[in-house]
Amino acid sequence: MATVASHSASSSVSTKGWFAQRHTNRVQEIFAGYLFVLPAALSLFVFLVAPILAAFVLVFMRYDVLSPPEYVGLHNLNQLFADTRLREIYWNTVRFVVFATLFNNLLGLLLAMGVNRTMHAAVKYLLRTALFFPVLTTTASLALVWNFLLTQDRGVINFLLQQIGLEPVPWLSSSSWAMVSVVLFDVWRACGFLMVIYLAGLQAIPESLYEAASIDGANQFQRMRYITLPLLSPTAFFALIVSLIGAAQVFDNVWVLTGGGPADATRLIVLYIYEIGFKRFEMGYAAAVSLTLFLILIGLTLFQFRMSRRWVHYD
């Protein structure tokens, strides 16, 4: 009995010790875990959360970056309704976002389907690299090259047009053509990125489904309609969200290519925010305009998620 009691006691101590040790290990593990995410959390806070919070505060301030901020209540928000340029600039942004997103995704998908076809490996890699190359190059240098190409007088493209008897086009100097040029440039520069995304989606579709469909007598259009598009829909959904947000935030394209001109014809919202903040030093009003963009992007993304239930197939 004594032995049993002793064993029982020691067993009880051992169990308590095991629990205590387990508890200590658990605490240490949690501590280590938090410690591990601390750098990322700190970075996120310093570079993302804090500026967003600061922007919300700045909306109610007049701040010229050198003088101390001054509380002005709702003045900057009222200014949003009085700023007549803002409406035109938002309209420019809407047009740019719609056309850039549409053409980037269409062309990206077509290119992905093109390079996904059976062809010699060397040709395939060369094509993929060539199409992706604009994504790797800095936008500023690309825009400079396009500037030389598109200049109305003695620009390369107009020179070629004139050689075949056509009139030169005011690509960058006309308000209507400048937006076309900016969209063209963006599609040329960014569709390679979407091509890669769509290509990954296409390659994830099991070949066996196509084989089964072929055996059942499905033609190419039917395979596309009933296999490729439904199974590609999660990829397309991701690509649409990424490209739409990216298009709404475009800055460097227009900054280098047109500077927002002629007049305000290609001035997009992010460029306008930059100019209000860093050219006019109206940080409060710049924060107010940023807030509108923030809310619009959140709204659009939520709308896309809601609509995705109708056309995105995850199975």
Partner 1 sequence: MSTLHETLGKQQLSRRDLLRWSAFATTGALLAACAPGVAPSGATTGDSAPAQAKVRIVATTQMPIEQWQPAVERAVDQLPEVDLVLTQTNISEGGWAGYSDRIVTQIAGGEQLDVIMIAIEGLGLLTDKKILVPLDDFFLADPTEKAILDNDIHPVLREMLQVDGKQMEYPFSWNNMVMYYNTAVFEEAGVEPPTTEWNWDDFLDTCLKVANVQGNADDRYAYSFWGNGMFGMAAWYFNNDTSPLNDSWTESNLMDPKVAETLQFMADLILKHKVAPNPQGWEEWAQFHAGHLAMRTCGRWCIASSLNENFTTYDLQYQPHRAGPLRTVAGTDGWGIAGATKSPDAAWSVTKFLSNKDASIDMTTSGGNIPTLRSVAELPLFAEYGPANTAIFYESLDYAKTVPSPKNFNIVDPILNRHYQTIWNGEKSVEEALAAADAEVRVEMEKLQAGRSSFAGVSTNKLAAACGCAQ
| Cα Rg of the chain (Å, integer) | 28
> Binding segment for partner 1 among 131-139, 158-166, 213-221, 234-242 (CB under 8 A)?
158-166
CB contact at 8 A, 271 and 160: no
Amino acid at site 144: L
246 near partner 1 (CB under 8 A): no
Which segment (113-121, 194-202, 228-236, 254-262) binds partner 1 by CB under 8 A?
254-262
- Residues in the interface with partner 1 (CB under 8 A) total 55
Q: List the one residue from 62, 95, 124, 223 that touches partner 1 (CB under 8 A).
A: 62
280 lies in the site for partner 1, by CB under 8 A: yes
User: CB-wise, 57 or 65, nearer to partner 1?
Assistant: 65
Smaller CB distance to partner 1: residue 155 or 201? 155
> Does position 69 bind partner 1 by CB under 8 A?
no
Based on the number of CB atoms within 10 Å of its own CB, is 125 exposed (0-12), middle (13-18) or buried (19 or more)?
exposed
Q: What is the DSSP string of 249-315?
A: T--HHHHHHTTT-STTTT--HHHHHHHHHHTS--HHHHHHHHHHHHHHHHHHHHHHHHHHHHH----
Residue 174 interacting with partner 1 (CB under 8 A): yes
d(C-alpha 275, C-alpha 285), whole Å? 11
**Nearest approach, Cβ of residue 122 and partner 1 (Å):** 37
Verify binding: residue 313, partner 1, rule CB under 8 A: no
The CA distance from 193 to 139, in Å, is: 14
Specify whether the CB–CB gap between 186 and 253 falls below 8 A: yes
Binding of residue 85 to partner 1 (CB under 8 A): yes
β-bridge partners, 167? none
Least CB distance to partner 1 at residue 290 (A): 16
Instruction: Dig out the tokens for 283 from the structure.
Output: 């940080």
**The two three-digit tokens of residue 303, written as one number:** 């709308």
Closer of 65 and 123 to partner 1 (Cβ): 65
Pick one of 77, 116, 132, 147: the residue that binds partner 1 (CB under 8 A): 147
The separation between CA 122 and the C-alpha centre of its own chain, rounded to angstroms, equals: 31
| Pick 70 or 211: Cβ nearer partner 1 | 70
Structure tokens at 214: 């072929």
- Determine, following the binding rule CB under 8 A, whether residue 164 of this chain makes contact with partner 1: no
Give the interface with partner 1 as residue ranges (CB under 8 A). 25, 28-29, 32-33, 35-36, 38-39, 42-43, 46, 62, 64-66, 72, 75-76, 79, 82-85, 88, 147-148, 150-155, 159, 162-163, 168, 170, 172-175, 259, 261-264, 275, 278-282, 284-285
